Structure 1
Amino acid sequence: MKFLRTALLLLAAAALAPAFAQGDGYPARAVTVVVPFPAGNSGDVLWRTLGESLSKEWGKPLVVDNKPGSGGALGAQLVTKAPADGYTLLHGSSGPIAIGPHLNKNVTYDPRKDFTPIMLVAGVTQAIVVRADSRFKTVQELIAHAKANPGKLNYGSAGNGSTQHLTGELFKQRANVFITHVPYRGAAPAYTDLLGGQVDFVVDSISSAVPFVQSKQMRILAVSTAKRDPVAPDAPTLAESGLPGFDVLGWMGLVGPPNMNPAVRDRINADVRKAMAQESVKQTFAKLGLQAVGGSAEDFRRYIDSEYARWGDVVKAAGIKPE
């Protein structure tokens, strides 16, 4: 009799295996996405918007949990220690995933090993922004002046270790110029000093720059991506401006704790793609200046590896020391 019961249990488990293999039992309860930045941040808005569609699809709520601190490292660290059941996920972006580990001594995780990549969701173009009355009309003019006057120009960013900062450093390396970096606590004070003439240009996300451009206070000299951005189609790319191959995207994705079930991972990937197809989500992407990306979990894994290596090289070449 005991043997018979064991056999029946094994048969039942085998019958259920295909369903679990497809992630069909997921989610059975609320799913939390940790956003390692304050409420109102673009990542916060992104997941609250996607959460509406995903909650309807799942019949279970998606909860956004803001855990700011250490440039995103605090929230990221929490997720690495969460159960690998798919119920605690992370809004992973270029800062805490690809850049922060090279600059922040408090980062104890390895983004290539300590997360399960799920999807590269979206990206935002970076831009070189000057005042409307700046002497520089093109990037070539800016580079020529910087070469003739090493150390005399400066640029502002949203802070040390930000995607904007590292984009500026990569620009300097590719252009072979010496320009002083001035870090700010966010983009707003950087723009204030740009308008006041304290910095010569700002490197920032194009979505933040466009309102100043529309009000005729500033101009975009160039954008960081390989192709022109539809948000500012008249702005040339840095590749068009004499730096061939320059291609930088400030990106946002979804990752989970290490060793997640591949079936659950792929189920989440498919459902996020479905949510991204919703018209309301597309409208939010447009308002935030985001480009939808998508792709498989393996695509995202390879992308994280390449971004981690790329920004590590930039940090090393710039001589930036971890803090």
Structure 2
Amino acid sequence: MKLRQFFKCFGMLTISLATGHAIAADFPEKGKRINLLVPFGAGGQIDIMARAMAPVWDKKWGTQTIVLNKTGASGQIALSELLRQPNDGYTIAFTQGFDAQMTYLNTEANAPYSRSNLIPVAMTQRTPAVWIVKSDSPYRSMKDVLEAAKANPEKINFGSPSSRGPAVIYAENIQNKFGAKFNHIPFNDGPSMMNGLMGGHIDLGMINATTALPFFNSGKIRVVMISGDKPFKFFPDVPTANSLGVDASSFGTGLTLAAGTAPAIVSKWSAMIKEVLDDQDLKQKMDAMALILEYSTPEQYSELWNRAEEEATKYLMKVNGKVRPIK
């Protein structure tokens, strides 16, 4: 009886594996719908990129991609939706570095998933963030902002597109180094934060360059600092964070699948993303919006996740004194 049960189970496993290989080989089926989950609202950098990239792979694959904005909780709602769908490769989600890691490492977030539930597929862009004030702000430079925040603790309202995004880390580093103290006001996404700045609800904001560019070109904002160590052609003469002694780098944005997705499907997605990012028309379109496309393999993107987890862990230990284990 036991031997019969063994062969029965072995046969079922063989059929399951064969079926899995067949599904992966046929992926994606022409005409099939792909759900592309965007963790932030319409009009933001990730939404713009999603709606520009999807038609490129649809044309190559013959698929029909629907972009779904699942906003809130720094990406947790989008990732939770990803894990509710079949792990067949037809639902894929954008993840923004550090935001995603904070959702499952923060004990207060209560995310119903961990690192092991997610597969980093490929990084898609690494565009520097910019630190901005309104054009009529009394603060002419980042130095002015820091001096004011030091002289008047928590009087400078600092806005960010997320409650747990990279801006949280950067603001913490700045405050520790310069003795400044901001009053942090988080928003659900970049466009909402820009509305807050334009409405006078915040004095300083950190936002991606893509979202900021139209406001800069129309003279509505002043850029006082660029994250990272390289000047950015769209904002000439603006100092970099590195030149000011500020630690503010970038973790980039990428695409993520649910754990259990067949390795062959992950590989097909990775190869397609590279092909899409090499598309010259897409590059020109994104460059015009100050969005810098950059590809990485699943292995390279996973390494970036590791770095983001390290930074998130450091921050959470300072603030909460505890962190959920990475598993």
Verify same fold: TM over 0.5: yes
Asked if the contact 1:30/1:63 (under 8 Å) is kept, the reply is yes
| Aligned counterparts of 1:273 and 1:123: Cα–Cα separation in 2 | 14
Provide the C-alpha distance between the structure 2 equivalents of 1:103 and 1:275, rounded to a whole number of angstroms.
37
For the 8 Å contact 1:207–1:288, the answer to whether it is kept is: yes
Q: Which runs of 5+ in 2 are unaligned?
A: 1-10
Q: Aligned AA for 1:227?
A: K
Encode CA deviations 1:21-75: one digit per residue, 9 max, x unaligned.
Answer: 9x65321243322223344443233222212111121123233233334343122
Secondary structure in structure 2 of the residue aligned to 1:240 = helix
Displacement of 1:279 in angstroms is: 2.7
Given that residues 157 and 164 in structure 1 are in contact (C-alpha distance below 8 angstroms), is that contact kept between their aligned partners in structure 2? Answer: yes
The one-character-per-residue Cα deviations of 1:72-91 (angstroms, maximum 9, x if unpaired) are: 31221122243332222112
Q: How does 1:268-307 map to 2 (within 5 A)?
A: 268-307=269-308
Task: List, as ranges, runs of 4+ consecutive aligned residues in structure 1 with deviation greater than 4 Å.
Answer: 318-322
CA distance in 1: counterparts of 2:225 and 2:51, whole angstroms: 31
How much has 1:236 moved relative to structure 2? Answer: 1.4
What residue number does 1:5 align with? none
Change (3 A) 1:184 1:27: closer
- Cα–Cα, structure 1 residues 311 and 285, in superposed 2: closer, same or farther, change >3 Å? farther
Partner of 2:245: 242
Does the 8 Å CA contact 1:37/1:44 hold for their aligned counterparts? yes
Name the counterpart of 2:254.
Answer: 253
Take 1:187 and 1:136, find their aligned partners in 2: how far apart are those partners?
A: 18
The question of whether the paired residues in 1 share the 8 Å contact of 2:150 and 2:178 is answered with: no
Structure 2 CA distance for partners of 1:246 and 1:114, relative to 1, 3 Å:
same
Identity of aligned residues (%): 22
Cα deviation digits, residues 160-206 of structure 1 (max 9, x gap): 33444443334323434222223345213321244xxx543222222
**Aligned residues of 2:98 and 2:309 also touching (Cα < 8 A):** no
Q: 293-302 or 259-268, which moves further after superposition?
A: 259-268
Residue 122 of structure 1, aligned match among 115, 120, 125: 125
Report whether the alignment pairs 1:88 with 2:78: no
Question: Cα gap change, 1:145/1:297 in structure 2, threshold over 3 Å: closer, same or farther?
Answer: same
Could you list the per-position Cα deviations for residues 141-167 of structure 1 after superposition, in whole angstroms to 9, with x for gaps in the alignment?
Answer: 433443344344332233533444443
**Pair 69,187 (structure 1): closer, same or farther in 2 beyond 3 Å:** closer
Say whether the 8 Å CA contact 2:35–2:90 is kept in structure 1: yes
AA of the residue aligned to 1:254: L
Return 5+ residue gaps in structure 1 as ranges. 1-9
Letter paired with 1:26 = F
* 1:1-323 aligned within 5 A: 24-28=25-29, 29-94=32-97, 96-101=99-104, 102=106, 105-110=109-114, 112-184=115-187, 186-194=192-200, 199-243=202-246, 246-249=248-251, 251-318=252-319
How far off is 1:115 after superposition?
Answer: 0.6
Deviation at 1:119, TM superposition (A): 0.3
* Structure 2 counterpart of 1:188, one-letter code: M
**Cα 1:285–1:170 shift into 2, 3 Å:** farther
CA contact (8 A) 1:90 1:256 kept: yes
> Match for 1:300: what amino acid?
Y
Specify whether residues 56 and 210 from structure 1 end up closer, same or farther in structure 2 by C-alpha distance, changes over 3 A only. closer
**Contact 1:103–1:161 (8 Å) recurs in 2:** no
Residues 306 and 95 (structure 1), Cα distance of their counterparts in 2 relative to 1, 3 Å cut = closer
Secondary structure class of the residue paired with 1:124: coil
Per the TM alignment, residue 230 of structure 1 is displaced from its structure 2 partner at its CA by 2.8
Return the letter of the residue paired with 2:264: A
Name the amino acid aligned to 2:228: T
Structure 1 residue 96: Cα displacement: 4.6
- Indicate how the Cα distance of structure 1 residues 266 and 171 shifts in structure 2: closer, same or farther if over 3 A, else same: farther
Deviation at 1:315, TM superposition (A): 4.0
- Go from structure 1 to structure 2 and tell me whether the alpha carbon gap of 1:31 and 1:193 turns closer, same or farther (over 3 Å shift): closer
For residues 88-113 of structure 1, give each alpha carbon's deviation from its aligned partner in whole angstroms, at most 9, with x where no partner exists: 21122236512333275341211x21
Structure 1 stretch displaced more, 124-133 or 114-123:
124-133
How many residue pairs get aligned? The number is 301
Report Cα offsets for 1:195-231 as digits up to 9, x if no partner.
Answer: xxx5432222222333333333332111112322232
Q: Which TM-score applies when normalising by structure 2?
A: 0.78
Residues 317 and 229 of structure 1: CA distance in aligned 2, closer, same or farther (over 3 Å):
farther
CA contact (8 A) 2:159 2:184 kept: yes
| Superposition TM-score, scaled by structure 1 size | 0.79
